[in-house]
Structure 1
């Protein structure tokens, strides 16, 4: 096998190995795909067919359980909320039955279809009890037959018996029949206790209550028999009461025996009996059918799982066999191909190492034999060594010339570096001066802008002052007008006070004349004696009034005089104020003119400051532009210096490499 591989090319050997590995990989992949397909089919059977049926059966079983719970709660409470829950559970269960019957998996399987059909029929029977339960909940007599017997027979008979007993008691009291009265009271006692025990038996179905009720019934019949023995001795009313008692006691006895029979049997509570004898067995049948469906699905799932497990194991064994075969075959092919390639290559490497360890002897050559690729390799190597020999010869000459060039380049770059350094220093000084000039220009522009703003503020303040002065002039003019009007009013007041003084003179004259007349009248009345006494009193009163009038007139005269003096002073003050107002108006007008002049000057200053600010800003912009240009020049100079330094380093490195290359080339023997 190795001999046959030795005559093949390396390409053929590699391709053969890959073809064998691809065939093995295809075999393993086909086996895996087949296993996966079978597994997918089994999983589909489990997940898409059997498992949904089992889950639907479990969901229906849960719906039936919820329906039973809702039914029980409704029968216990008989409330509308529980009835709504019962109906809702009924609808949900019905929907679950319909959904399960409509499943494609069920329709496709005869056994599933038959079981679901039986479940559907049983559920329809279960749903038919809903109306009966609702009727029992609405009518307690249907739910508990004892209540029907009690309501229809026992209660009317008991009421008639108690009424008849009351009539006997009335008759016995009227006739003062002590024995009849005692027997009637015994009857009422027995009847009362009988009803109490009867209610206890109906409520709790206690055997003791039943026995006590029978005992009280026998006591009541015994007492009734004793009264009936005296039937002929009783009057008509008592006999009528005894007849009523006998008839109703007999009815009560028969109905009571029927109640004991019914209420003591399984039919005591009809709804409970119906649930125990019909509903529970029916639901158990449904649950049994559902359990059978679930069991059948589980068995199929288990069978499919077992088949799936077996299939997986078979696939694993097949894949393991194929993998083992591929591994063994791959190892054999790898070893064969490797040995057929590595051995000739090792011989070529040994020959190359001999050349390498031969102190750079480029006169060595490989033997051109050992197979197609190795012969080509030896031939190419020999040509390569020949080319290297020629290249090394040319390189020796080039290295000598390169050394001379690098030395000249190093000298030139040193001169260039010194010039760049001087340029860098000059550029720094110019940039510093331009920065200071730009800063000064910026400060001038800022100061001019601040001065312009201050001038604008002053202009604005002057204009506001001019407006204030104008308003002050208007106010002073208005004040002067008011002062004139006040002076006129005061003058009028002075004239009126003079007129009042004239009137007071007339009044004072009249008062004096009246005083004289009153005095004369008093004298005449005194001369008249008794006849003139009343007139004398009147004359005295008139004289007194005249005196007070005269006194008041004098006081008014003094007040008028004071008023006249005050008005004279007010007129004088008003004249002075009017003159001062005129002077104030004149000064305010002069102030307004000065403010107008200030405003004009401030506007001129503001315009000049604006011009200075614009010029300074332009100068600052020009300085900044020059500064940017200088910075660019500086950066270029720095870059040139950096490049010069790099070139110096490159030149030194080139010089060093030239020396190394010279040493390296010198190690070859050509």
Structure 2
């Protein structure tokens, strides 16, 4: 009977039963009143009816006696007495017949009145005979009256006996109705007492049970909301009514919120790991840049020495071969240093590209965290709307819904805290994304500078190759020493210029690496702050 599990169905059934009992009492009262209305006074009316019939019979006899004995009365008076005799006799008969119809169910009265018809006809016959002899002598009239007196007396005994019998039945009827009314009063009193007691009991139990259930949910929600972010706690309500449904819905919401917070934690850890790797990569890039700068200083020194040697060759042609050999050795050293610089620069380019990949992954993780916070924000807004609807419904329910209003306020407070936390997380993620964007821009600049530096190294290598060719020409063509020396001086100047530019680019690359390190440290700081805020939630 799942329909009986809810609070509404339980108390609806109870109050419906009380209403049915009340309706049954009302229906029984209506039936009793109808029975009393149809029964009370029936026999009492019969007694009144037979009394009037007896009076009519007596008045008819009295009018007949006056008519027969007062011979000196005028014609009008005698006609009045004759009319009274006949009309009262007729009324006595009609009322007796009505009485017989009223008491047709009473066998005792029916048996008692069986002689009535014969006696009445005999009396009526005697009366008509006396009326026809109203001009006879007084002695004859007195004799006739004496003869009809016996029939009249028997007829009146029937009327009087009928009155006594109907009075007996009227008293019995009244007693029966009084007993029935007394029993009904007792039953109604008992039922009314039970209904009142049941209503009072329900009025005491129902709000208390509802209040206890709501208070239980409220206490559990307060414990969760004040538990320093412990999202692993659950209400675990065993109730099957609306409060149980509310508790289970809150448990599901907290479980989903805990899952989202867990994903945010894992995202923060991943960001921290990747930013640490990026920091290591930036440190390596900075070291490689310093090494490249040192190598370029060595190359510049070598080129300066080569330029000095070239000038010496111009002033001292005799030492051309020796200077050319020295120039060749210096060129070899420069080319070797340039090869090392190119190799270091290639390593730096690979590290910067790896940093770009790591930063791209970081950007993706930031977007995923932003989407998760968006989902949390949506759930919090829906929870706030649900709590607002619950508060409205509780306000409609009046005092009985006051507990639901408290629960709804607690849920709204929890949803508001969640919205504030997600908003703060979103702002931190935006800062993180901004830092990542700066890192990506710096890395792109570093890649561009590395490519330019690699191109310049290629040019420097070509220049060294030209120097070697020039040295060979000097050795092979001593006569062309002057022009070759001039060309070598120009090449050395160009090399010095290119190396200076390369040194400047190396310094810029070092500055970029340092900015990357600063950005990584700032990003790690923001990530640590975000992780610290998320860690207060226990899932």
TM-score w.r.t. structure 1 length?
0.30
Computing the radius of gyration over CA atoms, which structure comes out larger, 1 or 2? 1
TM-score w.r.t. structure 2 length?
0.37
